[in-house]
Structure 1
Amino acid sequence: MLVFKFGGASIKDANSIKNILGIIENYKKNNLLIIISAMGKTTNNLEKLLENYFYKKNYKEKFNEIKKFHFDIIEQLEVNNKNIFLEINEIFLLLEENLKILPTKNYDFEYDKIVSFGEILSTKIISIYLNFRNLKNKWIDVREILKTDNSYRNAKINWCLSKKLIKKKVIFEKKFFFITQGFISSSVDNFTTTLGREGSDFTASIFASILKSEKVVLWKDVKGILNADPNYFENTKKIDFLSYKEVIEMAFFGAKIIHPKTIKPLENKKIPLFVKCFFAPDEKGSVIKDLKTSKINVPIFILKKNQILISISPKDFSFMDEKNISKIFLIFFNMKIKINLIQNSAISFSVCIDDPKEKLQKLLEILQKKFFLFFNKNLELLTIINYMEIEIKKTILNKKIFLEQKSRRTVRFIIK
């Protein structure tokens, strides 16, 4: 049994979708479950749609743009089946109905309700297309079988209930394979939840773990796991083999190639994870598995953009002790804001976070009740693993450094 995951870049247009047809053809004799993300930049566009809807701005232009994008792809796929237009139109009608209802005050709840439509649309279109091309499959609404708590935008899996529902629903037959959505899920109360940005990788590992998959393959737009993002760094190198531990560390520091929660369910069952290029499916790609010794012999560069550095000091000029630090952590925990880096001194505590956008003002207001604040926006967090001094000097040349941390094999900079 195999689990495949196709990300947004691999299904960004009609030609890309036609390309995955050939990949699936080569594996159609296997018991196959396919996890699919939203198409192209649909998630980004749905986030903009949500923002306009939540703050009571005009959302119709963005809605029409998303709708046109999907219907254009359907036409280019040349599916001789009128039902595809009817089914996709029904989904857009449901989205439109949701947008007509006044939003609640819970942005994260509304986020999961609206942004989840991207995966529903992509899987429906691809399922119908593949059936039309005689690759018989069954479409599953993952929200019926993948259950979570109600931590919207970062839901926690209810493993016991999900395992029971998945095993009951996903029963393989030689006549067909299954297609379902990544990223999305639902609470036990049947409200839509999501697993965090890029959460489709995590979805794949959940199904692989529960169904005891032979392997998981993430189909990406790169030839495997690289030592740096080619959009920001030159002369990147592919890493052929990585251990589970090494990938967890890279994901924790912000490497976008794999969702941070993906690895643990696979490591528990010793299921190998392959990262392969959908444009070159016959190439080996990268393999993540149980390794006793590291096979990485190059520096790894991880760059996170849109960072905010907040420096916090007590108003009473007391020490930044455990009591004050615990208060700060509790504020971030309650607001569900992840801290990427911390550094403290006698009277100051600094944190680096992803720009929380709509949450930022509230966060600052809460902190300012008890602390003095200094903060900088639009920064970058650079992490270098297996660093060498020559690489550090080259990478931070002409950059303003706001903060630096160095350990035996890892160095981190907040820069602009």
Structure 2
Amino acid sequence: MTVFKFGGASVKDAAAFRNIFHILSGLDSSEKPLVVVSAMGKTTNALEKVFKEAYRNQDYSGTLQEIKDYHGGIVKELFPEEDHPVYAALQQQYSDLERLLKEVVSQDFDRQYDQIISRGELLSSQILHYYLCSQGYHNHWLDCRDYLRTDDTWREGRIDWAWTEQQISQHIPSILQEKPIITQGFIGATAQGETTTLGREGSDYSAAIFAYCLQAQSLTIWKDVPGLLNADPKLFQDTIRYEEIAYQEAIEMAYYGASVIHPKTVQPLAKKCIPLYVKSFLHPQEPGTVIWNCQHDRIAPSFILKQNQSLLSFHTKDFGFISEQHLSSIFQALSQHRLKINMMQNSAISFSTCVDTDDDRLEALKTHLADEFVILYNQPLHLFTIKNYDQPSLEKLTNGKEILLEQRSRNTFQFVCRPTEDFPH
């Protein structure tokens, strides 16, 4: 039993759908994978835009039409016959989306966000299901919201592992005995049936949840890169592919922001020793990278960049020392406003932390702590992390940059700096 996950780049156009068929049809006839698919291309970004326009009571018809045209163009290329059932299925999705947009009100932002942004995965998975069937690769389309239960932490639902594992292990193996399954990543549902999302780029995590609950032989994530690299090739030159890497190393790299793997993906796989393969959907015959329970010597330094960061500095209003009570107040406020700490540093009279920039949440945080702290901040900034650093890698990345904050441990070096025009190198 295997699980495959295809990301947005692997379903961005008609050629990409044909490529998925090429990969799946090349499997042994006895292999019937569960396939998790993301929204197509940049659809999630487009849905975010149309939702924000509706939330602000702006005209969203143009953005909505762009989404329809994008999907419609691909569908027409894959399904020339106008009476194919895929058209009725997509029209139902569009109708549901339009109804949800009309119901948007200026409250419950995060809950409404989940109901609308989740439509991307429902669209892409149905298109893939119908296309594979049209090519003779018969499969079962599955609504993952019937199997992945979460709480109502909107935009980052927390999995009810006991219920989810029971539901998946009880019902899905019998389906996979008959045919492969096509389902969605990124989304789940509450016990009341309301749609939730698992956080941006959460489709990897969805695939890991299915793999864990099915006790799968492996999980393969298909990417537009040849495997797990030591840096994002769009940002860094002369990248190196890791042939294999240990679970712990991969978890740390994901935590610091390595874009190939969602931070929550590796942990459930490590618990059951399920290997994770990262492979190229453009060159499926190549070995890629395997993340598993292995031992290796010191590996090549990895370079990780988080852009659009804010550096916050908290000072007590009475000019007193930063105490544990002050830190408790800061941490509670950061948690309440769902601002994740990417780096932090404490001094006698200040506490500094680097977080992803979210203007609305930052304003709410400053208002929350205004009576107790003076809060200074810089943005937009870059946060660089070098895992397994050495002196040449430090010099390569820090040269010519204005560093505002840095931190070093035995294996990891992080620094916050202002963006530079000459990056990437």
| TM-score band, normalised by shorter chain | over 0.9
Amino acid at match of 1:211: L
Q: TM-score, normalised by structure 2?
A: 0.95
Decide which of 240, 243, 265 is 1:240's aligned counterpart.
243
| Superposed displacement of residue 190, structure 1 | 1.0
What do residues 357-400 of structure 1 show as CA deviations (whole Å, max 9, x unaligned)? Answer: 33222122222221001101110100001112222222122221
| Superposed displacement of residue 103, structure 1 | 2.2
Residue matched to 2:385: 383
Residue matched to 1:326: 328
Distance 1:95 1:296, change over 3 A: farther
Residue matched to 1:42: 43
Residue matched to 2:421: none
In the alignment, the residues of structure 1 paired with residue 196 and residue 104 of structure 2 have an alpha-carbon distance, to the nearest angstrom, of 19
Bigger mean CA offset, 281-290 vs 95-104: 95-104
Distance 1:86 1:354, change over 3 A: same
In the alignment, the residues of structure 2 paired with residue 45 and residue 173 of structure 1 have an alpha-carbon distance, to the nearest angstrom, of 33
What do residues 129-178 of structure 1 show as CA deviations (whole Å, max 9, x unaligned)? Answer: 11111100111111111101111111111011112222333123554210
Residue matched to 2:188: 185
Decide which of 273, 280, 290 is 2:283's aligned counterpart.
280
Give the SS at the match of 1:148: coil
In the alignment, the residues of structure 1 paired with residue 72 and residue 249 of structure 2 have an alpha-carbon distance, to the nearest angstrom, of 41
In the alignment, the residues of structure 1 paired with residue 243 and residue 207 of structure 2 have an alpha-carbon distance, to the nearest angstrom, of 21
In the alignment, the residues of structure 1 paired with residue 11 and residue 176 of structure 2 have an alpha-carbon distance, to the nearest angstrom, of 26
Bigger mean CA offset, 269-278 vs 381-390: 381-390
Q: Tell me, yes or no, if the aligned pair for 2:133 and 2:139 is still in contact at 8 Å.
A: yes
In the alignment, the residues of structure 1 paired with residue 219 and residue 244 of structure 2 have an alpha-carbon distance, to the nearest angstrom, of 15
Distance 1:347 1:120, change over 3 A: same
Give the SS at the match of 1:369: coil
In the alignment, the residues of structure 2 paired with residue 413 and residue 390 of structure 1 have an alpha-carbon distance, to the nearest angstrom, of 16
Residue matched to 2:160: 158
| Superposed displacement of residue 89, structure 1 | 1.1
Distance 1:62 1:166, change over 3 A: same
Which runs of structure 2 are paired with 1:209-288 in the superposition (5 Å)?
209-288=212-291
Q: TM-score, normalised by structure 1?
A: 0.97
Task: Count the aligned residue pairs.
Answer: 415
Superposition RMSD on alpha carbons, in Å?
Answer: 1.3
Residue matched to 1:147: 149
Residue matched to 1:125: 127
In the alignment, the residues of structure 2 paired with residue 67 and residue 358 of structure 1 have an alpha-carbon distance, to the nearest angstrom, of 29
Q: Tell me, yes or no, if the aligned pair for 2:338 and 2:361 is still in contact at 8 Å.
A: no
In the alignment, the residues of structure 1 paired with residue 217 and residue 231 of structure 2 have an alpha-carbon distance, to the nearest angstrom, of 28
Decide which of 77, 89, 100 is 1:98's aligned counterpart.
100
Residue matched to 2:343: 341
What do residues 163-217 of structure 1 show as CA deviations (whole Å, max 9, x unaligned)? Answer: 2222333123554210100000011111111111111111111111111110000
Residue matched to 1:399: 401
In the alignment, the residues of structure 2 paired with residue 295 and residue 139 of structure 1 have an alpha-carbon distance, to the nearest angstrom, of 43
Runs of 4+ in 1 over 6 A off after TM superposition: none
Residue matched to 1:52: 53
| Superposed displacement of residue 79, structure 1 | 5.0
Query: In percent, how many aligned pairs have the same letter?
Result: 41
Residue matched to 2:314: 312
| Superposed displacement of residue 90, structure 1 | 1.1
Unaligned runs of 5+ in 2: 419-425
In the alignment, the residues of structure 2 paired with residue 390 and residue 368 of structure 1 have an alpha-carbon distance, to the nearest angstrom, of 43
Q: Tell me, yes or no, if the aligned pair for 1:341 and 1:352 is still in contact at 8 Å.
A: yes
Residue matched to 2:23: 23
| Superposed displacement of residue 336, structure 1 | 1.6
Q: Tell me, yes or no, if the aligned pair for 2:56 and 2:106 is still in contact at 8 Å.
A: no
In the alignment, the residues of structure 1 paired with residue 397 and residue 104 of structure 2 have an alpha-carbon distance, to the nearest angstrom, of 48
Bigger mean CA offset, 145-154 vs 366-375: 366-375
| Superposed displacement of residue 29, structure 1 | 2.4
Unaligned runs of 5+ in 1: none
| Superposed displacement of residue 296, structure 1 | 4.9
Residue matched to 1:367: 369
